[in-house]
Structures are given as C-alpha cells and as structure tokens.
Amino acid sequence: MMPTASGDSALSFMRGTPALSNIPIIVILISVISAHPDAERIAMQLGANAWLTKPVTYGELRRLINEVLSQTSASSSNG
C-alpha cells in the first residue's frame, strides 16, 4: 500500500510522463482479488507490462522480470 497515491494513479502518472513511460512495470496485487475483481484488467489497461498476485516468490518475480525485460528489449529493437 502506498501512503500518498494509489497504484492506479502512480501507473497512470508513469505512463503519461515521457521520461518514465518506457520503464517496464510489474504490478503486485493483493491476494484477495474479490476486493478488486478487475484489478488485473485495470492494471494492464493502465499500461502495466505484467502482474503477479501476492504472495510472490523470489522465483516467480525473477522469472517475470526476465520475461518482461526480454519482451521490452525485443520490442524496442523492432521499432
């Protein structure tokens, strides 16, 4: 939980700021998805590259970081 901003507003800010817009973002969501049933869809619509649901293991996070970095480097070399 962020004390001064929501994750949605932080994600929107990053994607709307040219200096930050190309930074890959992995959203980590709370485990009780029933509190926010559309959280994954919203995160992806706002520009997240990927998402994980808590609890997150080191292996899951490392795998997803490598996957996102591979995708972003491939897309930047194609365009």
Spell out the domains of the chain, with CATH numbers in brackets: 7-78 (3.40.50.2300)
The two structure tokens encoding residue 19: 């200096």
In one-letter notation, the amino acid at residue 77 is S
Give the pTM: 0.76
Entry field: residues in the chain: 79
48 burial via Cβ count (<10 Å: 0-12, 13-18, 19+): buried
Q: What is the pLDDT of residues 3-61, one digit of tens each?
A: 677 888 999 999 999 999 999 999 988 765 556 778 888 889 999 999 898 889 999 99
Q: The tokens 């994607």 sit on which residue? A: 15
pLDDT beyond 80 at 68: yes
For residues 47 and 11, the answer to whether their CB atoms sit within 8 Å is yes
